[in-house]
Amino acid sequence: MGRTSDTPVSVVEHLQRTRADRPTHECLLDENGTWTYEALACDAARVAGALAEVGVARHARVAILLNNSPAFAISYLAVAHIGAIPVPLDPLASEHTLRLILADCAPCAVVCEAETAARLAALPPIDSVRAFFSPGADAGPSDVWDLPIRDFTTALQENALRPEPDRVDADEVATIVYTSGTTDVPKGVMLTHRNLAALIRSGVQTLGVGRDDRIGHILPLFHLYGLRELQIAIAVGATLVLSTQTGFPASLLAWFERQRITGFPGVPGHFALYLGRYRDRLAALGGDLRYILLGTAHTPPALLDDLRSVLPRTRIYKTYGLTECGRVTTGDFTSPDTPASSVGPAAPGVDVTVRDADRREAARGEIGRLFISSDMVMKGYWQRPEDNAEVLDGRCFRTRDLGYIDDHGRVHLVGRVDEMINTGGEKTAPWEVELVLRQHPSIADAAVVAVPDEDGVLGQVPKAFVVLRSGVTLDAEDVRKHCARHLESYKVPRKVSFLARLPETTLGKVPLHALKRLD
Amino acid sequence: MTRAQIEHAVLEYLTKLPGWVRAEARGGVADGLIDHRVLDSLALLEFVTFVEKLCGIEIASDDITEEHFNGVDGLLRYLDAKRGVVEAQ
């Protein structure tokens, strides 16, 4: 399907329209500077000119290895401006992961800070890369793999404006976002302009984001959950408030208070942290803060209660999504009457069905695998036809998530298909053991994974990682006895390890492969 | 406790963190604990608690800033001031 109207198709077209509508309105800012819509569009167009000069063309991939910053937004929009495909990546990913991903997506250019350039210089060259760009003239190598590093600052001064961005079709690939790889190697998720337009619509409809909103942004822009906020802000003409102080909550929250943010998307861990030691600073946002959005990880009911009491005038939303499907659900949890165990109803335009092992649709309340259909479902994984055949059926994506839908249409997540522990043929869902563990008064949090049975008889056995509440003591045998009182014997963890806290990815998810490597 | 003992204990704590080894390969870890994700915001608070116990002081939330906690040198300067230690120049 091609274009049917003058409705903006791409983020660049949204930017052009908003620039024409409100050129002097703040689009993006951090502690070091502010970009109006006019300034952002101009800078992106100039950098697009610099990219085109070195041969970056339509459909070519450009890896963007930058932390959250205006430079990220300028680079992303510049790549999109010429119809090329931005591939945002974590600049602090391990060398192994970076090498894996760069070899996979074969970018023709890389945008990165000097420090990342130095790390890449130590790796074997990626043949596809023909140019390096840096957003500043920081000290660092002058070239990588015998390619000079070009400074964007020069491009901003010297290159002529490009008058019009390339026209794109809604079903062309707009960006490739790599999955976080909590259970597998990272895969490149191809998202089209149509996918991103649906993602924007979903945010606008469920959260009511509008042109007067100022979104406090701490989520990594190299993940879709964070990238969405940039797309939404540009599409509706809102303001995205970034910060260089995300690691220092006192400074961050004071900055957000001064900036009078109205929206604050994050992960539960962020808000648990603020409620613990920065309660007053979080409460101080309440005068302007219209909504909080909690995503990517389980939200304990106590955290919701605490947020309600500290921010009584702020709406509290929970959302569930996947890189492959955008946002799947968004629910309003402002009222304490909303069951905290759900992740809300399907977002507008999203169809969620629960299916059993034979792909028959499950009854309400029955646990099965979640299938998602919507305009947000990806075009496919980059160069992975076998994986695509396994998970995609047209616009329908077969997730690995297990859950059920209650009588009110709310989706409940209970675990993942591939997390099931097979102990001599008996199956255990980790969430079931985790639930029992969290019921123990001395246990603050827990995660359960499958590990090989050391005797080699049972195949896999459950292993628990337990975080104790402060000031209590408990040993492995106490934990096992507690489980034995509530679970079948094969579900009782054979091994128990105690951790100060569970490891988390940059988005607050527990990386199971990392747990399996721990003693 | 002397400044050298504090520095030793702090480095011993930090070098045991999973983020240290990976970050060390990138260089400049000691002056970029947050920038290099040796400490994320939660790990930072655990580290603050450790420093409080180590030095027998209380650190105000507003003192947990980039200047004081993004690097070992900045932390030692902050602790000197907090403990009223005057370093010989």
Quickly name the fold that domain A194-416 has. Rossmann fold (3.40.50)
Residue A306 DSSP SS3: helix
Band (pLDDT 50/70/90 cuts) for residue B88 is very low
Residue A159's pLDDT is what?
59
Asked whether residue B50 carries a pLDDT value surpassing 80, the answer given is yes
Paired tokens of A120? 């890449």
pLDDT in tens, A364-415: 999 999 999 999 999 999 999 999 999 999 889 999 898 999 999 999 988 7
Paired tokens of A15? 């930017």
H-assigned helices in B16-61 = 18-26, 41-55
Contact with chain A for residue B18, Cβ under 8 A: yes
Give me the residue spans of the domains in chain A: 11-168, 194-416, 420-517
Residue A229's pLDDT is what?
96
pLDDT in tens, A25-63: 999 999 999 999 999 999 999 999 999 989 999 999 999
pTM over 0.90: no
The CATH architecture assigned to A11-168 reads 3-Layer(aba) Sandwich (3.40)
Query: What percent of chain A has a predicted confidence (pLDDT) above 70?
Result: 93
Contact with chain A for residue B39, Cβ under 8 A: yes
pLDDT in tens, A316-348: 999 999 999 999 999 999 999 998 889 999 999
Q: What DSSP character marks residue A389?
A: H
Q: Taking the CB of residue A320, how many other CB atoms lie within 10 A of it? A: 24
Angstrom CA distances, A517 to A182, A449, A450, stand at 13, 11, 11
Q: Which of B36, B61, B69 sits opposite A277 (nearest CB)?
A: B61
Q: ipTM beyond 0.85?
A: no
Residue A61's pLDDT is what?
98
CB contact under 8 A, B40 and A95: no
**Angle, in degrees to the nearest 10, between helices A70-81 and A11-21:** 110
CB contact under 8 A, A94 and B22: yes
**Cα–Cα distance, A237 to A247 (Å, whole number):** 28
Contact with chain B for residue A137, Cβ under 8 A: no
Residue B89's pLDDT is what?
40
Q: Which of B22, B42, B46 sits opposite A269 (nearest CB)?
A: B42
Domains, chain B, with CATH or none = 3-83 (1.10.1200)
Q: Which CATH superfamily is domain A420-517 in?
A: ANL, C-terminal domain (3.30.300.30)
Those residues of chain A that have pLDDT short of 70 are 1-5, 137-139, 158-163, 180-184, 455-457, 504-519
Residue B25's pLDDT is what?
55
For the CA atoms of chain A, what is the radius of gyration? 24
Q: Which of A119, A246, A500 sits opposite B26 (nearest CB)?
A: A119
Angstrom CA distances, A297 to A200, A227, A505, stand at 21, 18, 10
Q: What is the mean pLDDT of residues B50-62?
A: 90
How many Å lie between the alpha carbon of B50 and the closest alpha carbon of chain A? 13
**Cα–Cα distance, A338 to A410 (Å, whole number):** 10
Q: Which residues of B touch A276 (CB under 8 A)?
A: 45
Residue A92's pLDDT is what?
84
CB contact under 8 A, B41 and A503: no
Q: Do domains A11-168 and A194-416 have the same CATH topology?
A: yes
Residue B44's pLDDT is what?
85
CB contact under 8 A, B25 and A95: yes
Paired tokens of A67? 């932390």
CB contact under 8 A, A269 and B61: no
